[in-house]
Amino acid sequence: MADKTAELRAILKLQPVVPVLVIDDLEAAVPLARALVAGGLKAIEITLRTPVALAAIRAVAERVEGAVVGAGTVLTRSDYKDCEDAGAQFVVSPGTTLELLQAARKSKVPMLPGAATASEVMSLREEGYSVMKFFPAEQAGGAAYLKSLSSPLAGTLFCPTGGITLAKAKDYLALPNVICVGGSWVAPTEMVEAGDWSGIEQLAREASALAD
């Protein structure tokens, strides 16, 4: 568990923002990932929300140099196995179940489990997790709520995701218990559909600069 936690921390520390992608067109996956990596966002989460998601993960893993591709919206044991087989280097879930915890124990791929309440965080800590996804961040209380957890649940780090924008990201990243944020704003649907890879690269550069 310690090795996988260290691996996950290293991935999440690559950048201040992890792009959260919903890919509808498989042909867009590789150029999109290349634009994000060129802009400084190497760790990329491709969510299992479309029929081409697993193929997109495999394509990015095999063809995009420098990319660290992860799988998001992982809900079941079979999802976990499919993502590992596709080449995902980390797995992200919106919440946590016993089935997912069991799958994570058996896999070499680290999991970023989702939590939204103090009780959920405490339960995950009992399972050995110290890095979690705070989801849905804005709807669950935002940066102020997460700040309130920093003292009673010291030692736990979060990647808040859900409703976060470039402006809001700064508030989260200023917190002592935030390792990075997840966001979809770096790859707007209209820019992906238009193939505006240079524009997406610029958005990625702006997000990457939040680390400065």
Note whether 100 and 114 are within 8 A (CB).
no
Please state at what angle helix 26-38 crosses helix 197-208, rounded to 10 degrees. Answer: 40
Note whether 88 and 57 are within 8 A (CB).
yes
- Out of 4, 42, 133, 168, the active site residue is 133
Q: What residue has token string 């990015």? A: 60
Whether 42 sits among the annotated catalytic residues: the reply is no
Assign residue 46 a region (left: φ > 0; alpha: ψ between -120 and 50; beta: otherwise). Answer: beta
Phi, psi of 51 (to 5 degrees): -65, -20
> Rounded distance, CA 208 to CA 212, Å?
8
Whether 45 sits among the annotated catalytic residues: the reply is yes
Cβ–Cβ contacts within 10 Å for residue 143, how many? Answer: 22
Note whether 35 and 59 are within 8 A (CB).
no
> Rounded distance, CA 65 to CA 19, Å?
17
Note whether 112 and 93 are within 8 A (CB).
yes
Q: Which residues are known catalytic residues?
A: 45, 133
